[in-house]
Amino acid sequence: MSELLQKAELLKQASFQMATKSTAEKDEALLLIAEALIDETPAILAANEQDMAAGRKAGFTDSLLDRLQLTEERIHAIAEAVRQLTKLEDPIGEVVESWTTEHGLYIETIRVPLGVVGMVYEARPNVTVDAATLCLKAGNAVLLRGSTSALQSNKALVSVMKQALKKSPLPSDALQLLEDTSRETAAEMFKLNNYLDVLIPRGGAGLIQSVIAQSTVPVLETGVGNCHVFIDESAEKEMAINIALNAKTHRPSVCNAAESLLVHRNWPYQRELFEALKHAGVEVRGDKDLTDTYGYVKQASEEDWGQEYLAMTLSAKMVNDTQEAVQHINQYGTKHSEAIVTENEENADFFFRGIDAAVLYRNASTRFTDGEQFGYGAEIGISTQKLHARGPMGLKAITTVKSLVRGSGQVRN
């Protein structure tokens, strides 16, 4: 039996045990994991350095290396995030709704685990811990399939977590890492309908589209982020500049960073804005209006309007009104996060009603599209689809429901 099928069988059996575990038992396991991550930091860092050395040799970009790298500080932050999960309300067993039918049947719809979750992701070893612990807190078993670039880090992290689970009330088989990172095995994983209840891809557009195209297992789609900031005619100067800078430069390598900037033609502080972007080291690729006005703005191509740069690069365009901004965003956006900076209530309302995206902001940075920032404690990803879950996905997004019907001898005529 292949590694994939062997681990899938273990996960399926473990998922039945996980569904019966109490909140206290799950939280005990999470605290043991957090403690083990701290205790085993040197071993984890040594494994991560193997991946970093291979990445440097392969010519990885600085942004990719940053996503790949673990430090003592980052491991402590990861462990603290696991501890914080224990403080979150357990969604399992929550009564979503209840009622009594005309025949006297009492029906409750309650929240239950999804079962076995398959996570497919790239580069970032912190996702290994985030995904594993979120799934365990929600009563799921989880199969992790990371990228080759982070394999040594992922093996070390999963080994530490599984050792912690062996000391806990939870089955250690509920967590598995697929160490075979070949495309052929991945394609086989995407069709394991008898074992996996859902697949969650988390990474670049290529990975996500590959999973969607090949999978017969239901996919909970996480999104690429071509996020926009629109500065309306009435926008307050300092607020608009601060939001644009934060959305672009705070952490440009993540999906909720702004990639496109739209500016109302009549906004009077354009020069200050573009000078601030230049001073911050942002390469702006703009339309003809901007290139004619600012010598340091490069000419944008059609491809730039839909680009997720994940770098200090930004496309920019002048627009005549809110309607034009909304049309542009709906054409080129990825339904992730979009922001308007405005003091005009009517324009803000039109922006909120007109744009098809998971998260919309008025007078705030797109960088807040994050499970922790939303108060979920953590996230499994950010969904840009419309079925089951949308936006930052916390614990409830990786559950489903079932109905419990209690009768007193009723039969149907």
Q: At 47, which CATH number?
A: 3.40.605.10
Establish if 114 belongs to a structural domain. yes
Report the predicted TM-score, pTM, of the whole model to 2 decimal places: 0.86
Segment holding 248, helix H or strand E: helix 237-249
Total domain count for the chain?
2
Q: Are residue 309 and residue 245 in the same domain, yes or no?
A: yes
Segment holding 362, helix H or strand E: strand 359-362
Please write the tens of the pLDDT for every residue from 257-303: 999 999 999 999 999 999 999 999 999 999 999 999 999 999 999 99
Establish if 411 belongs to a structural domain. no
The residue range of the domain holding 289 is 227-368
What's the whole-number average pLDDT of the chain? Answer: 95
Strand partners, 219: 199
Kindly state the tokens that stand for 65. Answer: 């290396």
Question: What is the predicted pLDDT for the residue at 166?
Answer: 98
- Residue 223 CB: number of other CB atoms within 10 A? 26
Residue 302 DSSP one-character state: G
Establish if 207 belongs to a structural domain. yes
Q: Which of 133, 114, 217 is nearest to 175 (CA)?
A: 133
Q: What is the 3-state secondary structure (H, E, C) of 340-353?
A: EECCCHHHHHHHHH
Residue 219 DSSP one-character state: B
CATH code: domain of residue 315:
3.40.309.10
Establish if 378 belongs to a structural domain. no
Report the percent of the chain where pLDDT is more than 70: 100
Residue 222 DSSP one-character state: B
User: pLDDT: is 378 or 345 the higher one?
Assistant: 345
pLDDT band at 378 (very low <50, low <70, confident <90, very high): confident
**How far apart are the C-alpha atoms of 76 and 82, rounded to whole Å?**
10
Q: Are residue 181 and residue 254 in the same domain, yes or no?
A: no
What is the rounded average pLDDT of the residues 360-386? Answer: 89
The residue type at 175:
L
Please write the tens of the pLDDT for every residue from 219-265: 988 878 899 999 999 999 999 999 999 999 999 988 999 999 999 99
